[in-house]
A and B are shown apart, each in its own frame.
Chain A
């Protein structure tokens, strides 16, 4: 039982490039989330999903897109990367029925 797995762990992009951050979970969570964490700041919600085929925007969705074709996978897409998207990105699952959210170990992304 690996929990929530994120890949890659590190990535450097050039301005204007695009990429997909992968998140997969084996805990059968219907609810999944993408957060970003900037230095000295709390985690900010980007997008979330309450089940396969259902996604919605969080607090800071601009510049990102998500999809949820299966329960297990919740990829985050960056189109036209900008320096302001340099951050650490965390995927999480769970948070319902009095259960906590479980987080992956993050993807550290630098846009240069």
Chain B
């Protein structure tokens, strides 16, 4: 059974204080690992897809990395507008493309 565990559950940072969110996964053949951002009252918004260990992707203050067992979402010099819940999900090879999600990390960036 595919499993995704995210830590920490909640994280409070001061504006400009860099940190990392963790996503540990077990999957029977990884097709892709996805990071989404979710704002209150909204659906998940796509950030990144990572396909193989060693891959990295960046977007503004966010950088996602992937190993064979986990992924990290690094947030550099965050701003209050980065406050959101960040969701990690895996897509298994051979599946009908459905995603298995972690429970998310709720990030709060204080001004």
Contacts of A92 in B (CB 8 A): 43
* Chain B contacts for A61, CB-based, 8 A: none
In contact, B99 and A43 (Cβ under 8 angstroms): yes
Chain A neighbourhood of B46, CB < 8 A:
100-102
Contact yes or no, A31 B43, CB < 8 A: no
Q: How far is the CB of A105 from chain B (nearest CB, A)?
A: 5
Q: Which residues of A contact B49 (CB under 8 A)?
A: 98, 100
B43 with A45: CB separation less than 8 A:
no
CB neighbours of B89 from chain A (8 A) = 42-43
Contact between chains at B96 and A100 (CB < 8 Å) = no
Whether A42 and B41, one on each chain, are in contact in the complex, defined by CB atoms closer than 8 angstroms, is no
Q: What is the distance, in angstroms, from A86's C-beta to the closest C-beta of chain B? A: 16
**A-side contacts of B104, CB under 8 Å:** 42
Which single member of B32, B96, B101 contacts A50 (CB below 8 Å)? B96
CB-CB contacts below 8 Å: B5-27 with A: 9
CA distance A44 to B98 in the complex (A): 10
- Most chain A CB within 10 A, of B36, B44, B51, B91, is at B44
- Say yes or no: is B72 at the interface (Cβ < 8 Å to chain A): no
Q: Which residues of A contact B102 (CB under 8 A)?
A: 42
Identify 12 new A-B residue pairs, CB closer than 8 A, beyond the known A43-B99, A95-B98: A40-B9, A42-B101, A43-B89, A43-B101, A48-B96, A90-B44, A101-B34, A103-B43, A103-B45, A105-B41, A105-B43, A106-B41
A residues in contact (CB < 8 Å) with B? 4, 31, 33, 35, 40-45, 48, 50, 56, 58, 90, 92, 95-96, 98, 100-106
Q: List 16 A-B contacts (CB under 8 A).
A: A42-B4, A42-B87, A44-B101, A50-B96, A58-B98, A90-B44, A98-B49, A100-B34, A100-B46, A101-B34, A101-B97, A102-B46, A103-B43, A103-B44, A104-B43, A105-B43
